[in-house]
Structure 1
Amino acid sequence: MRDFWQDVQYGLRTLRKSPGFTAVALLTLAIGIGANTAIFSFVDGVLLKPLPYANADRIMRVLEKPPGSPDARNGISTLNFLDWQRQNSVFQYMAARTGGSVTLTGSGNPVQLRGQRMSAHGFDILGVQAVLGRTFAADEDQPGKSKVAVLSNALWASQFGSDPAVVGRVIQLDNEPHVVIGVLPAGSAFDRTFAQIFRPLVFEPQNMTRNFHWFGAMGLLKPGVTVEKAKAEMDAIGQRIARDYPDSNKGWSVAVDPLAEVVVGPQLRKSLYVLLAAVGMVLLIGCANLANLTLARGTVREREVAIRVSVGASRWRLIQQFLTESVLLSYLGGVLGVALGYALIAGLKAALPPFSLPSEATITLDSRVLLFAIGLSILTGLVFGLAPAIQATRSDLAGSMKEGSRGSSTGGAKHRLRSALVVTEVALAFLLLAGSGLLIRSFFAMQQVATGFNTENVITAGLPTSEKRFATPEALNTYLRQVVANLESLPGVRDVALTSALPMQGWGYGMPFQIADKPIVDRANRKACFFKMVTPSYFRTIGMTFVKGRGLAEGDGKGAPPVTVINETMARKHFPNEEPVGKRILIQEIVPGKTALGPEIPWEVVGVVKDEKVGSLDETDSSPGMYVSKEQSPTFGQALVIRAAMDPRRLQNAITDAVHQVNKDQALTDFKTLEQIKAESMADNRLNSIMLGGFAMVALLLSAIGIYGVISYSVVQRTHEIGIRAAMGARAGDVVGLILKRGVVMAALGLGIGLLGALALTHLLATLLFGVGARDPLTLGAVAAVLAFVALLASYLPARRAAKVDPMICLRYE
């Protein structure tokens, strides 16, 4: 320990004497360690930490598995779920859950709350207790007992001012009184989840069907029950149901998946690993640079080492001293890196799109991340300090001093080591630049995707309507017509439409269908398409283009023949080489206000419209789909689409006032322009591209510095040789060529290795790319050209300086 503290004190004095080296080294380390700390905090919070629930390893997600797709998962029908509950012996509890957004009224303007409904045992499965009041009692998911609500801590603070007396208060949700029975703990997953308020999920008579899949479920395994046993038993139950009810369940089974394996999607998992690999490469490049700098300093300190050896210092004692200095430097850089990492964590959390991380993820600079940063700092010091320490303390110190005495050479071993480090830097920089280049090209390719609609001056908003507010579908449609009429009368409004699903916001309804004149397929095994209920003005409002036939008309109402407009993909896939207009498509009626399907309706195709993007821009295949009139297929939960003659955001208050003239308790949610929806669809890709691109630029800069440093040092060491060549008649161009040669050789070797690495590894990015191949020759060629230019420039600057030196000064150089 005495030797260690002596080495630390000596190391601090040495660093103070070399402020330039210390500043560059600390900055390099801070960037490398800080970036690694930030990204590791996300990897740890999302992928490594256990779920923040009691008995997390026993919590399963339970869904239905449709036929023909072993990896596909589907929502659950009510009667199937009730059979699962009654017949299984592997789950201690099972709970259904689904969305349940509600409108809070009675305290100023109506407020739409994001909600979730779940069975009474939902909180028992997750092991969550209320911090105030209680969670659901065992019978509160039964009819007549369900008018209770549990608040998330965030909602309690934002909407109720953290009032402890809120428990027991009666609040109006969808104009029905509910009692607040509890508040969930602060900082839990329920503060980060989409839902703000939780209510019991009650199965009412209109929900008792097998052919309408509308909710998900989770279960808590009994102690000692394995996942394999649960899968086997639930699969057997699913097979019995499929045998007893073939019309709705033929070929269907049950999927049991550990919750820990499904909370993180494959795209997010791969994105995090790619970013972690990227910051690891940046740190390795930084280590190579610091090793080169340390090797250069080692040459200066050879006389010091020789003196220490002459007075009895062992080689191991000298290596220990050099390593202590390197680790000390790395530790100080790590301290700065932790501060930088904290700022990066905050910045990334602010830049992430809402709800892009699972609610179970806790991203923070906690003790686990700090231990990682400390360990990484020590490891980094050992990595960049070991080789220079061994080189500086080699046994032939006298010979080394002779080599340095005339400045002609620094020794072949050091030359080779420093060159190898630069080659490594260039190869790693090539990998990073190739990956970022592919992601950037993918992002720009997404921007060029045809959406099938015109986003200019279009604003959207949710128009949630309670299923219990209107006695009949006709009453619902009358109300919606009044809302639309009021909005159409606003100055600056050109078109108004309603839709059951906004562009790029998903299918809404996915309905199994049967072509009327094709062989009959079992209902349980039919293909599905998206099914949108819209007003006839929808196509005009968002600027869609018809290919043939006509659109929906105002006359396509109740009592008129049912008609539909299909998209091009539907026509191409299911009506190949035939005229789709005039064909009939059989789809069961969606019963308004019920989770039930009625008799089959023969929808006659009257038109074909160009594809509208119903999902994200990076979807490679367009979805087949149908559009029907909301008059002929009414549904609750419509959304408004309004085209304006100006910036539509200026109309937001006027739109709200116009709706409230019809119904003062009607909430409007999520005002967004179509441009915003499009931008949000690309948010994850944009963030990946920016982050990887930023790391690649740092890698490029560090590589350039590395090449420049090695060539500059080589020029200094060869000053005497350059003077002799100049005195013997060598021209400036010859000197420049001589110096450039070494830089070009190092860069070429690095590019070759980097290209081979990119060809081998970029396929790992394939699932993150859109519209560009993982081995795109244009991207790889551009990266090679950029790196070659930077390497040439970094080599040329010291070469040009060497060519301008006076030969007499060079010959006198010592």
Structure 2
Amino acid sequence: MLALRQDLLFALRQIFKNPTYAVVAVLSLAFGIGATTSVFSVIHAVLINPYPYQNADRMVHVERTSKERTGTSLIQVNRTEWRELLQASSIEDAFGVLYFSQTLTTSDLPVSVNATYNTPNLFTFMGVPALLGREFTAADAPNDVPQPVAVLSYLFWQRQFGGRKDILGKTIQLNQKSYTVIGVVPRRFTWTDSDIYLPGVPSADPAEHWLAFIRLKPGVSYAQAGAELQTMVGRWTSSDNFYYPKDTRVRVVSLNQEVLGQFQGTLILLFSAVALLLLIGCANVSILLLARGTARQHEFAVRASIGATRGRIVRQLLTESMLLSVIGAGLGIALAYGGVSLISAWLPPRSFPHEAAIGVNLPVLLFTAITSVLTGVLFGIAPALQLSRPQIGQMMAQSGSNRLDGSSGSGRTRSALILSQVVLTMLLLTCAGAAIRAFLALYHSPLGYDPDHAMAVNINLPKEENPTWQGRANEMEFVRQAVERTPGVVSASVSTTYLPPFPAFDAPIEVLGDPAEQQRMASLELVSPQELQVLRLRLISGRMFTDAETARAAHVAVVNQAMVRQYFGGQNPIGKSVRSAALKLNIPRLLLTNNPDGYLEIVGVVGDAINEGVDRPTIPAVILPYTFVLPPNLFLVVRTSTNTDNAYEAIRQQMRTVNSQLVVHDVHDLSWFLWTQAWGKERFIASLFVGFALLALALAATGLYSVVSYTVAQRTREFGIRMAMGAQRGDVMHLAFRTTALMVFIGAAVGISLSLALNRVMVLWASGSSRDPWMLLGAFLVLLVVAIIACTLPTLRAASIDPARALRQE
């Protein structure tokens, strides 16, 4: 302990003796450790410990796909299918969820809430005890009759009721029906992002479908469960062919695989990038330690001559490096708190489990402690071993500037370190360039509509006031016109199934006159005629259907150019007819009210607007009056002449004047929606890679500056002699920079080669290609400019050496 105390005190004296070197070393480590800790915090929260639920590793999602549907969706079952599902031999337990929009009518003003009906075993399935009160169980639905009880989410409890503990036993009203609050769940219980959890059971209505979530029995593989469920779904296709077409395939996936998808790989890629940044920081400190240690060779020779063993010198040097690492880790943790907040704010909203608790916690701090120890050994071991073998006789015989001469081994180590820095920096620069290119390509891709000054608004309509189809249609048009009259609103359109860039409702269609009436797929977009004006869609030919046609659900439709190209061979489709069997069925989450039996006459063609996400081509679309399928609530797309926030407040006031029971909620500015969600993943990746690349550039520049400065100091006498013999300033600058420039070019070449080799990883996990020659050239030029700037000052110092003073140095 005494020896350790002596080593620590001596290390502290060395730090205070050379504060500039210590500050640069600590900052190099702090940025590397801070960035690594920040990203690991996200990794730990999102990938390692995302869910607070019991046996979450055996909880799975069941995805279903078919040729008639684009993309994937979760399995949904009616009561008969639900009972069969519970008998599956691979399933230990299951619960069901039914979404239904509700309005909280307890308060002075009605409030829209996200309430869900859940089978009574929800909370016993999850195994998470209530934060307050109790959770409902099977006893709250005796004989399949749910009792009027409610469990609140933590956030809703805080937002709506201020976290009052006397909420238990209070009565709330949802759509004028009373429920007794019996409990509040913990903060991390956010399943389905519900505000209120209500007990419910599947009804006998075969059209009512509940989302099913299951937990596998121990030892059951995903493949085994998938095979059993596939057989089960095969039996359902005959009686439930809308939800389960004949070619339906099911796949069992983990919770994270469903939520994150390839974003898991993206996070791993970002963690790899930040690990490279930490390695660059370690290399930087190693260079500083070597430069500093070479100047201390005489000290080490003296210590060795009076009996210090090589192990004793190594221990002293490692103590100094560990002390720097601990100080850097402490500062890095402080930086990590800000970094975690920044990364959390940048994360795309729907890209990670909402149950994840992202923050600097005990496991993260343990990771940081281990990282600091490893980095201390990593950057300290090479200089310690290199400097612990002083040539005692030679060093004692040397004096003056000759004492600065390092061994060839030390020079090779420095060259290897600076080369590795350049390689890793170049790799990060090319990754950042690829990510930026991917984001810019997405950002500049044509949308086909104008999102500026446009927003989506959801309005809850009073229930049961107009039970007839005509009454409901009249009510919706009355509210739409009231919104359109609001100050600051230019126009408003009902948009039942279409809000770009998200997919609409994809359904099979038939084109009249096709051989054997061949079935095709198209996006059914139910809107009002004002959609063209609100989204500024281009009318290519023909006309849009009218208000009068919408009021009577006339059999007319407009198609997009993608449909003209794919299904009409580019010929004029106006006057031809299409139909879809989906309009005779209960479209999910919509209330079917009008069942046309005939074809829809095509009256116009509009330009393509994205309807399958920003990263996919536009698919064929049939645009028809929204009155074919009346939703339970009104979804509007609104164009404003002012700020959308101001327009939202004006619309709220207007709706309160029209009917106090109208609730305006779920408002989204379409431009902001694109920025944060549609482009969110690419923006997030590009932002972090750019940040890491800039830090890497700063660290590499520091390393280059340190190496060239050390080289100039080491060769001061040599440069003086050369200048005394007639060498020009340019010759001396060339000598000082030549070796470093060679390492920069070699390192850049190796970094580019590595980025090309990792191109598939970048394409898969970062949506960007690193094989663009212009991007590679740009990354190299950035590195070259930074390297030149970093080396300019010390090389100028070499060129300004006074030969007389250099020759007098001893």
**Is this a same-fold pair by TM over 0.5?**
yes
Answering whether residue 164 of structure 2 is matched by residue 163 of structure 1, we say yes
Tell me, in whole angstroms, the C-alpha distance in 2 between the residues paired with 1:262 and 1:797: 54
- 1:367: how far off? 1.4
Of 192, 199, 206, 1:208 maps to 206
- 1:583: how far off? 2.8
- 1:75: how far off? 4.2
2:182 match: secondary structure: strand
Q: Which residue of 2 aligns with 1:326?
A: 321
Answering whether residue 339 of structure 2 is matched by residue 344 of structure 1, we say yes
Of 490, 494, 497, 2:493 maps to 497
Measured against aligned partners, the alpha-carbon deviations of 1:155-187 in whole angstroms (never above 9, x if no partner) come to: 1122123233323322221232233232112x3
Name whichever of 467-476 and 33-42 sits farther off: 467-476
Structure-2 change in CA distance of 1:134 and 1:466 (3 Å): farther
Name whichever of 145-154 and 370-379 sits farther off: 145-154
Q: Which residue of 2 aligns with 1:195?
A: 194
Tell me, in whole angstroms, the C-alpha distance in 2 between the residues paired with 1:541 and 1:508: 17
Structure 1 segment 143-182 matched on structure 2, within 5 A: 145=146, 147-182=148-183
Tell me, in whole angstroms, the C-alpha distance in 2 between the residues paired with 1:127 and 1:597: 44
Query: Match of 2:611, as an amino acid?
Result: V
Tell me, in whole angstroms, the C-alpha distance in 2 between the residues paired with 1:533 and 1:139: 43
- 1:4: how far off? 2.7
Q: Which residue of 2 aligns with 1:774?
A: 770
Answering whether residue 554 of structure 2 is matched by residue 557 of structure 1, we say no
Of 417, 423, 443, 2:439 maps to 443
Query: Match of 2:232, as an amino acid?
Result: I
TM-score by length of 2: 0.92
2:328 match: secondary structure: helix
**2:68, 2:245 within 8 Å by CA — same for their partners in 1?**
no
Answering whether residue 281 of structure 2 is matched by residue 286 of structure 1, we say yes
Structure 1 segment 351-500 matched on structure 2, within 5 A: 351-394=346-389, 396-399=391-394, 405-407=400-402, 409-465=405-461, 468=464, 470-500=466-496
Structure-2 change in CA distance of 1:508 and 1:130 (3 Å): farther
Name whichever of 153-162 and 73-82 sits farther off: 73-82
Name whichever of 721-730 and 170-179 sits farther off: 170-179
Of 636, 658, 674, 2:632 maps to 636
Name whichever of 440-449 and 222-231 sits farther off: 222-231
1:117 match: secondary structure: strand
Tell me, in whole angstroms, the C-alpha distance in 2 between the residues paired with 1:32 and 1:402: 41
Tell me, in whole angstroms, the C-alpha distance in 2 between the residues paired with 1:492 and 1:94: 49
Structure 1 segment 84-163 matched on structure 2, within 5 A: 84-85=84-85, 87-138=87-138, 145=146, 147-163=148-164
* Same amino acid, percent of matched pairs: 32
Name whichever of 272-281 and 452-461 sits farther off: 452-461
Measured against aligned partners, the alpha-carbon deviations of 1:538-585 in whole angstroms (never above 9, x if no partner) come to: 111221101222112123235564111122222222322433223322
TM-score by length of 1: 0.92
Structure-2 change in CA distance of 1:505 and 1:216 (3 Å): farther
Structure 1 segment 20-31 matched on structure 2, within 5 A: 20-31=20-31
Structure-2 change in CA distance of 1:413 and 1:276 (3 Å): same
Query: Match of 1:373, as an amino acid?
Result: T
**1:84, 1:234 within 8 Å by CA — same for their partners in 2?**
no
1:668 match: secondary structure: strand
Name whichever of 492-501 and 216-225 sits farther off: 216-225
Of 787, 805, 810, 1:809 maps to 805
Q: Which residue of 1 aligns with 2:18?
A: 18
Answering whether residue 606 of structure 2 is matched by residue 609 of structure 1, we say yes
Structure-2 change in CA distance of 1:773 and 1:105 (3 Å): same
1:701 match: secondary structure: helix
Measured against aligned partners, the alpha-carbon deviations of 1:644-700 in whole angstroms (never above 9, x if no partner) come to: 333343333321122223321111113333322222222333232222111111111
Query: Match of 2:718, as an amino acid?
Result: E
Q: Which residue of 2 aligns with 1:66?
A: 66
**1:189, 1:361 within 8 Å by CA — same for their partners in 2?**
no
Q: Which residue of 1 aligns with 2:567?
A: 574
**1:59, 1:125 within 8 Å by CA — same for their partners in 2?**
no
Structure-2 change in CA distance of 1:485 and 1:467 (3 Å): same
1:100 match: secondary structure: strand
Structure-2 change in CA distance of 1:49 and 1:517 (3 Å): same
**2:63, 2:75 within 8 Å by CA — same for their partners in 1?**
yes
**1:302, 1:392 within 8 Å by CA — same for their partners in 2?**
yes
- 1:202: how far off? 4.2
2:627 match: secondary structure: coil
Q: Which residue of 2 aligns with 1:537?
A: 530
**1:487, 1:658 within 8 Å by CA — same for their partners in 2?**
yes
**1:513, 1:527 within 8 Å by CA — same for their partners in 2?**
yes
Q: Which residue of 2 aligns with 1:234?
A: 229
- 1:323: how far off? 1.0
Measured against aligned partners, the alpha-carbon deviations of 1:485-534 in whole angstroms (never above 9, x if no partner) come to: 22333344322211114533523423232333335589xxx654322221
1:62 match: secondary structure: strand
Q: Which residue of 2 aligns with 1:726?
A: 723
1:94 match: secondary structure: strand
Tell me, in whole angstroms, the C-alpha distance in 1 between the residues paired with 2:89 and 2:67: 25
Query: Match of 2:729, as an amino acid?
Result: A
1:439 match: secondary structure: helix
Tell me, in whole angstroms, the C-alpha distance in 2 between the residues paired with 1:19 and 1:349: 35
Q: Which residue of 1 aligns with 2:302?
A: 307
- 1:778: how far off? 1.1
RMSD between aligned alpha carbons? 2.8
Query: Match of 1:335, as an amino acid?
Result: G
**1:507, 1:531 within 8 Å by CA — same for their partners in 2?**
no
- 1:50: how far off? 6.3
Q: Which residue of 1 aligns with 2:753?
A: 756
Query: Match of 2:194, as an amino acid?
Result: A
Query: Match of 2:91, as an amino acid?
Result: F
Answering whether residue 617 of structure 2 is matched by residue 645 of structure 1, we say no
Query: Match of 2:314, as an amino acid?
Result: I
**2:540, 2:607 within 8 Å by CA — same for their partners in 1?**
yes
Measured against aligned partners, the alpha-carbon deviations of 1:371-391 in whole angstroms (never above 9, x if no partner) come to: 110110011111111111111
- 1:305: how far off? 1.2
- 1:152: how far off? 0.5
- 1:600: how far off? 5.1
Q: Which residue of 2 aligns with 1:689?
A: 686
Query: Match of 1:628, as an amino acid?
Result: L
Of 709, 712, 723, 2:709 maps to 712
**2:321, 2:380 within 8 Å by CA — same for their partners in 1?**
yes
Structure-2 change in CA distance of 1:763 and 1:397 (3 Å): farther
Query: Match of 1:151, as an amino acid?
Result: L
Structure-2 change in CA distance of 1:93 and 1:566 (3 Å): same
2:467 match: secondary structure: coil
- 1:477: how far off? 1.0
Measured against aligned partners, the alpha-carbon deviations of 1:420-447 in whole angstroms (never above 9, x if no partner) come to: 1111111111111111122222222222
Structure-2 change in CA distance of 1:273 and 1:147 (3 Å): same
Tell me, in whole angstroms, the C-alpha distance in 2 between the residues paired with 1:232 and 1:402: 81
**2:591, 2:631 within 8 Å by CA — same for their partners in 1?**
no
Q: Which residue of 1 aligns with 2:737?
A: 740
**2:610, 2:617 within 8 Å by CA — same for their partners in 1?**
no
Structure-2 change in CA distance of 1:244 and 1:674 (3 Å): closer
Tell me, in whole angstroms, the C-alpha distance in 2 between the residues paired with 1:179 and 1:601: 48
Tell me, in whole angstroms, the C-alpha distance in 2 between the residues paired with 1:469 and 1:529: 34
1:555 match: secondary structure: helix
Measured against aligned partners, the alpha-carbon deviations of 1:289-347 in whole angstroms (never above 9, x if no partner) come to: 11111011111221221122122222122112211211121011111111111221123
Answering whether residue 540 of structure 2 is matched by residue 547 of structure 1, we say yes
Name whichever of 631-640 and 782-791 sits farther off: 631-640
Structure-2 change in CA distance of 1:461 and 1:69 (3 Å): closer
Any unmatched runs of 5+ in structure 2? none
Q: Kindly tell me the number of residue pairs found equivalent between the two proteins.
A: 802
